[in-house]
Structure 1
Amino acid sequence: MAILVIAEHDNASLKAATLNAVAAATELGKAAGGEVHVLVAGANCAAAAAEAAKLAGVAKVRVADAAHYDAQTAENVAALVVASVADEAGDYSHVVAPGTSYGKNVTPRVAALLDVAQISDVVAIESADTFQRPIYAGNALATVKSSDGVKVLTVRTTAFEAAAVANEGGAAVEALAAGPDLGVAKLVGRELTKSARPELGAAKIIVSGGRGLGSGENYHKLLEPLADKLGAALGASRAAVDAGFAPNDYQVGQTGKIVAPQLYIAVGVSGAIQHLAGMKDSKVIVAINKDPEAPIFQVADYGLVGDLFELVPELTNAVG
């Protein structure tokens, strides 16, 4: 039996979340006694497959290269995964995907087609059939044991270190016959946000703003200079996003991105439970808020009570 990781990629390179999923699968492989295979479904995706082959812990990379996988629509990819689970080259006991928007789109379809229960947002692996996942917005951990023949998991990427690049030559890369184009969904277009700053989900430093900033103008005027000096990504609370201060892809929290940077600076963020669920695993949390009773201070390593309109410019000026 083996573990199959569904790679998230852009046909040219792997997304960072795939490396975390591979690390989780490697840990699972040790518990289950199986090797790790990576599935790369795309169009002209040889570069992404070669990158996957170099990851530590990966024994084989299976590549389905066809035009109808270019957009990696969930319906086509899920059908390919299900067909791969029981083929002679696979015989997979587990299917693993990163807990990103892409992974959450594909794996429920895989689980439904296999008639098994999906186990979402795994943060720890206890054994081949027992896993931990957060519940109640991260305030408790549930231990889940599955008796399904094939376990379908999404893993919280912040809970597992990224897989390293192996020193040896790399895993075997084999072609996988493409499945049919189901034709039930078509990508019409993508609107990509381009930024010189790091990607929010993979950033080592995040400067995040909340409703306390008062306006989108203040959000950009106060936070962008600080983020630029620190080489940080920008984030926002749901309240700030709902108010139009920042775009949706900046949202940190239970209904946004789950992050765990080395440094998280929360400016004017009250610390609602949904926001805390998305950032409380950060290594160091700094909170700036005028309300000394704000919940954010309960998880902050360093708290500064005061007027953010004075404190943030002072902090920016103090940063070398």
Structure 2
Amino acid sequence: MAALVIAEHDNASLKGSTHHTVTAALQCGGEVHLLVAGSNCGAAAEQAAAIAGVTKVLVADAPHFADGLAENVAAQVLALSASYSHILAPATAYGKNILPRVAAKLDVAQISEITKVDSPDTFERPIYAGNAIATVQSSDKIKVITVRGTGFDAAPAGGGTAAVETVAAVADAGTSTFIGRELAKSDRPELTAAKIIVSGGRGMGSGDNFKLLEPLADKLGAAMGASRAAVDAGYVPNDWQVGQTGKIVAPALYIAVGISGAIQHLAGMKDSKTIVAINKDPEAPIFAVADYGIVGDLFDVVPDLVKQLG
């Protein structure tokens, strides 16, 4: 029995989500192999081989894998699938785009966003915006699984000595074409990988008022996030959104400013190690999950915090 992990990467380096997925795969039992499908992706393959616990890295290198088109990567996974009992990918936009195609072609039920492995055929996953945990047992010959990174520690990036093997690349499916990509550039840490996050909500009042949070984020070296209400109001870009329909995060420190604590938002951040809430409403639901709460006007509290941090 072996598990295949689909590596998320940019051809030059692996994404952190891959390391969390490897940990989940190791808990499924048996060997763990990593598929790196890309173009000129040797550097990413070297990083994959160094991950502790990985026994083999399969490299499919072809121009049509350069941009991670789901149709092509899914076809490559299907070509290798017969050798595996488990196929796993991160529960990111990348993994969610690929694995449903694989599950459909294999005629199996995908198990989405697992947070725990109970046994090789039994897994736990959140439902109802994280308010309940479902235990799912699968009798499918091949388990197709997406992994919520916040549920698993990252596998160590060094210490591994996996063999690197080149596999025959499948032909270009020809059903999709990469046109372009527009990326938001920021000097701050990536939201899903940040150890500290400062998030604002509807209580910020406007997009300009989010600038009030920047000195605090700068002092802490934090990423900036937002609630869905703030994003829907147009205060900040949607790639800042934390929550069930945004990004799932679990930093060491999460500071929620002017966020009431709707279920949708809590589902995306309640696994944070330490939660600090700042809200003028003492009855705000966010205080129910916060480790530390400050009841007060954020426009007074945040500048005071910045001063205290020196």
Q: Distance in 1 between the 2:250 and 2:258 partners?
A: 19
1:245 deviates by: 1.1
1:199 deviates by: 0.5
Counterpart of 2:3 in structure 1 is 3
Q: Distance in 2 between the 1:206 and 1:157 partners?
A: 16
Does residue 109 of structure 1 match 2:105? no
Unaligned runs of 5+ in 1: none
Does residue 226 of structure 1 match 2:216? yes
Please list, as runs of the form range in 1=range in 2, the aligned pairs for 1:276-315 lying within 5 A after superposition.
Answer: 276-315=266-305
Contact 2:27/2:120 (<8 A) preserved: no
The superposition leaves residues 94-113 of structure 1 with CA deviations (integer Å, 9 ceiling, x where unpaired) of 00001111111101001001
1:142 deviates by: 0.3
Counterpart of 2:71 in structure 1 is 75
Counterpart of 2:55 in structure 1 is 59
Counterpart of 1:236 in structure 2 is 226
Task: State the number of aligned residues.
Answer: 310
Counterpart of 1:96 in structure 2 is 88
Counterpart of 1:18 in structure 2 is 18
Counterpart of 2:246 in structure 1 is 256
Q: Distance in 1 between the 2:157 and 2:204 partners?
A: 41
Moved over 3 A (4+): none
Question: Which of the numbers 157, 163, 187 marks the counterpart of 2:178?
Answer: 187
Q: Distance in 2 between the 1:317 and 1:196 partners?
A: 22
SS in 2 for 1:269: coil
Q: Which amino acid aligns with 2:142?
A: V
Contact 2:19/2:157 (<8 A) preserved: no
Q: CA RMSD in A?
A: 0.7
Does residue 146 of structure 1 match 2:138? yes
SS in 2 for 1:126: strand
SS in 2 for 1:229: helix
The alignment's TM-score, normalised by the length of structure 1, stands at 0.96
Please list, as runs of the form range in 1=range in 2, the aligned pairs for 1:149-228 lying within 5 A after superposition.
Answer: 149-167=141-159, 170-220=161-211, 222-228=212-218
Q: Which amino acid aligns with 1:208?
A: S
Contact 2:276/2:293 (<8 A) preserved: yes
Task: Report % sequence identity.
Answer: 70
Counterpart of 1:132 in structure 2 is 124
Q: Distance in 1 between the 2:207 and 2:171 partners?
A: 47
Contact 2:38/2:63 (<8 A) preserved: yes
Counterpart of 1:40 in structure 2 is 36
1:165 deviates by: 2.8
SS in 1 for 2:203: helix
1:167 deviates by: 2.7
1:194 deviates by: 1.1
Q: Distance in 1 between the 2:98 and 2:159 partners?
A: 31
The superposition leaves residues 42-64 of structure 1 with CA deviations (integer Å, 9 ceiling, x where unpaired) of 00000000000000000000000
Q: Distance in 1 between the 2:309 and 2:92 partners?
A: 33
Q: Distance in 2 between the 1:139 and 1:167 partners?
A: 38
SS in 1 for 2:278: strand
Q: Distance in 1 between the 2:108 and 2:250 partners?
A: 30
The superposition leaves residues 19-57 of structure 1 with CA deviations (integer Å, 9 ceiling, x where unpaired) of 10011111112xxxx200000000000000000000000
Question: Which of the numbers 252, 266, 279 marks the counterpart of 2:256?
Answer: 266
Q: Distance in 1 between the 2:295 and 2:97 partners?
A: 41
Q: Distance in 2 between the 1:218 and 1:304 partners?
A: 19
Unaligned runs of 5+ in 2: none
Q: Which amino acid aligns with 1:302?
A: Y
